[in-house]
Amino acid sequence: MVWDKISTGSIAVVFTTAGLCFSTYFIFYGKGQKRATTNIPELGGFSLLTAWPFFAQRNDFLWANFKKTGANIFRFRVLQQCWRQWFLKQILALFTKDRMTDVFPSLLRDTTRLMAGWGSEGTINPFDELNAIVFQLTVRMSSCQELANDQKAVARMSELIDVIEKNATPASLLLPWFPSPTRRSRQGATRELFAMMGAYVERRRAASFSLRLINAEYINTGMNVCWNLLYLGMHPDWKDKVAAEIQMLVSNHTNSISNELDERLASIPLNAWGTELPVTDCIIRETLRMMMGASLLRRNLDEDVVVDDRVIPQGDFLIYPLADVHANPDIYPDPFKFDPERFDPGREEDKKVPLAFLGWGAGEWPGPLIMALFFLTFEFEVVDSSGEFPKSLPRADFNEFKRTGPPQDNPCYIKFKRIVA
């Protein structure tokens, strides 16, 4: 056996090294550091054991400890502190009205080109094909024209980001120094991404921000566009309402059928996309409510603050499970039922309490653009792996700490037929 061939000395070195690493880790991290005095219940224990379920089954971890402590806030140690302080400020600069107006025709051309590659009819996995569109649009928005026009480079970037995202496991986050295959895969993909961006973007700092934005936008927007269409396919009445609303938008703002579809859509004022699609807006909000059950993390970078008569020390992270509001039956009755009318005027369940909805609507983001082109170009229906109409869509897994991806147990597809040449 291979084990028999390993020398006793080699085994001793391995176990001694592991023991030293574990002991050093326990001394510096397990005991913790002196913290400001608070009246927040502390879970205590070895931080690695505490943090593992936080990353592996985050939603269950939070609610189990709410029950355990009997408090609506508790404290524990997480091992890493690395969030970007300036990310949000810079991303907002890319989604200004002027920026969106300038790039809008290019976004429509990109979407039309990629949809044309599907052919006249067939079946697609939306989590592949629609994600590819979202990725292209995100690169177009966040980088330079030379990169956005290089289809091979964009496809390779998408592959590399998938490698990074899929290898972001609890073990890789808690033990980033461990030389595992996932660590090597992530490092290799990250190096290649920076090398690609460095060829197009002059300053490395700008490349770093572009990669962060592309990763965040691709994962979040891509998943949401896919689930929007799947839910609409499962609810033909809402699907018909969205189709009629999009047709009305085009009729109100274009007066010619001679131009290409993407050119006609580009002539629609940008503000109309956010104000004249109320049904689409409700669809987007309801989909986000049902799919967004992850936990938000924010770090207190300023001085100690008081929240609910409890002191949050400087440097601590605040973690909030979105399911606390999005899946709360006291706010949204029957919370796992797809019901976009929750957001209609006169009902407005999202306004029962402050911040009851923590998503976004059909404003300045590319989701409505993709949905409009899709509805105007294709007839479609949702099918399962056998080609039949599925009985139901799965619920979101709120323990998933990366993204709400495609259903694994009962995968769903979109069967389409082109209605615009």
CATH number of the domain residue 354 falls in: 1.10.630.10
Mean of all residue pLDDT scores within the chain: 74
**What's the rounded mean pLDDT across residues 106-118?**
94
Residue 320 falls inside a structural domain: no
Lowest-pLDDT range of 6-20, 234-248, 308-322, 389-403 = 6-20
Q: Are residues 338 and 407 in the same domain?
A: yes
| pLDDT score for 102 | 78
Dihedral (CA of 169, 134, 86, 205) sign: positive
| pLDDT score for 108 | 92
CA–CA gap between residue 259 and residue 251 (Å, rounded): 14
Q: Are residues 92 and 63 in the same domain?
A: no
Report the domain count for the chain: 2
pTM over 0.75: no
Among 69, 99, 124, which residue terminates a domain? 69
Residue 43 falls inside a structural domain: yes
AA identity, residue 76: F
| pLDDT score for 57 | 64
Q: Are residues 238 and 212 in the same domain?
A: yes
Q: Are residues 274 and 348 in the same domain?
A: yes
Q: Are residues 43 and 115 in the same domain?
A: no
Q: Are residues 259 and 336 in the same domain?
A: yes
| 8 Å CB contact between 242 and 283 | yes
Q: Are residues 214 and 245 in the same domain?
A: yes
**What's the rounded mean pLDDT across residues 212-235?**
77
Residue 261 falls inside a structural domain: yes
The total number of residues shown for the chain amounts to 421
Domain of residue 40, residue span: 2-69
Residue 310 falls inside a structural domain: no
- Taking only the tens place, the pLDDT of each residue in 273-286 is 888 999 999 999 99
CA–CA gap between residue 97 and residue 42 (Å, rounded): 46
Lowest-pLDDT range of 157-166, 225-234, 306-315, 344-353 = 306-315
Q: Are residues 39 and 110 in the same domain?
A: no
SS3 284: helix
CA–CA gap between residue 153 and residue 156 (Å, rounded): 5
Higher pLDDT, 314 or 267: 267
Write out the DSSP string of 285-339. HHHHHHH--SEEEEE--SS-EEETTEEE-TT-EEEEETHHHHT-TTTSSSTTS--
- Taking only the tens place, the pLDDT of each residue in 126-153 is 988 998 998 898 888 777 788 889 999 9
* % of the chain beyond a pLDDT of 70: 62
Q: Are residues 218 and 128 in the same domain?
A: yes
Q: Are residues 59 and 102 in the same domain?
A: no
The vertex-265 CA angle with 264 and 269, nearest 5°, equals 110
CA–CA gap between residue 274 and residue 363 (Å, rounded): 5
Q: Are residues 27 and 128 in the same domain?
A: no
Q: Are residues 24 and 139 in the same domain?
A: no
| pLDDT score for 283 | 94
Give 413's DSSP letter.
E
Give the DSSP H or E segment for 351: none
Residue 28 falls inside a structural domain: yes
- Taking only the tens place, the pLDDT of each residue in 50-90 is 665 666 666 666 667 666 666 555 444 443 333 333 334 44
Residue 191 falls inside a structural domain: no
| pLDDT score for 350 | 92
Residue 263 falls inside a structural domain: yes
Statement: residue 11 has pLDDT above 50: no
| 8 Å CB contact between 413 and 126 | yes
Statement: residue 214 has pLDDT above 90: no
Confidence of residue 381 (pLDDT cuts 50, 70, 90): very high
Confidence of residue 401 (pLDDT cuts 50, 70, 90): low
**What's the rounded mean pLDDT across residues 381-394?**
90
| 8 Å CB contact between 392 and 333 | no
Residue 351 falls inside a structural domain: yes
Among 41, 69, 97, which residue terminates a domain? 69
